[in-house]
Amino acid sequence: MSNSILDIETALRLKGFYFRTPSKVKGYKAGIHKSYYNGISPDFLDHKEYNKGDELKQIDWRLYGRHDRLYVKKFEDEVNMRWCILIDKSASMGYGDNKSTKLNYAKKLSATLAYLLLKQGDSVGLLGFSENDVEFIPPRSGSSFITTILDRLESFKPSGTTGIKEPILKALEAYSSEASFVIVSDFLIELEAIEESLKLIRHSRKEVSLFHVLHPDEIDFDFRGSVEFQDMETNVKVIVDTGSIRHTYQKRIGEFIERLKLICHENETRYVFSPINKSIENSLIQIADK
């Protein structure tokens, strides 16, 4: 069951990649991320005068010979990272045919990312959200934790309207220290709300990456004839002549994507455009390092 949402092949292909944050983090376990804390590391950082309590093996005897004073060497430390994957499970994410819904894509992307993060030693938490429904799994490390994440992802069903502010606040509350947020959503809400949420996260000195999941129908609007559309979240109905409206619609959705990208750029947020016909690998690779 869990295997259905975890793309093992993608995960294996991305095995040589690391998901890093661009800034230093205060990790408490050894990992791949640069730490503010100095410790045992091959990378020499600085010297300082010996004080009582410093380890004798860290005294730089060569410097003592030249200056006749005791100095100890300081080294950079590499620590692990805490991640929070926020996944939109509102009704609009249920759009698509059977297995190829936006939510399924988001689940696969989240599961694969969580797998890779756990593999590189980071701790991963999960938060599924809609307007009035937030499900949170606190971050943990260790490969075995993937099972818990997969089980929880599997249980997510599309329902409710999209609301981003509340889940962000909840996540920030849970992640008081350094963390990196990954939000997977179709972002079919007001841009102002998205911008406000991103600012909240950035204010808390946390990294953010957005995976913008859309169905090709939403991008190309490849419908024929006169169709009565009903909004999946608000139930608003509208009858449109798809032929005559297509061009204008494409223009409108294009404008929305561009503005979302701009907001991300302004808030030092990584934006990844992830239509569900794009492979998970291609989406994830955009936030990975070799």
Contact residues for other proteins, defined by CB under 8 A: 91-93, 95, 102, 186, 188, 215, 217-218, 223, 225-234, 236, 238-241, 243-245, 248-249, 251-253, 256
Q: How far is the CB of 171 from other proteins (least distance, A)?
A: 24
- Whole-number minimum distance, CB 222 to other proteins, in Å? 12
Host H or E run for residue 198: helix 191-203
Three-state secondary structure call for residue 110:
helix
Q: Which residue has the tokens 């599924």?
A: 128
Nearer to other proteins, 51 or 230 (CB): 230
Q: Which residues contact 264 (CB under 8 A, 6 or more apart)?
A: 198, 210, 270, 271
Min. distance of Cβ 86 from other proteins in angstroms?
Answer: 18
Rounded distance, CA 224 to CA 49, Å? 77
Measured distance CA(151)–CA(74) in Å, rounded: 44
Q: Which is nearer to other proteins, 39 or 254 (CB)?
A: 254
User: 37 or 223, CB closer to other proteins?
Assistant: 223
Short-list 87, 198, 95, CA closest to 134: 87
C-beta of 231 vs 289, nearer to other proteins: 231
CB of 242 to other proteins, least distance (A): 9
CB 239, min distance to other proteins, A? 6
Tell me the longest C-alpha to C-alpha distance in the chain.
89
With a CB cutoff of 8 Å and minimum separation 6, the contacts of 266 are none
> Which one, 151 or 241, has the nearer CB to other proteins?
241
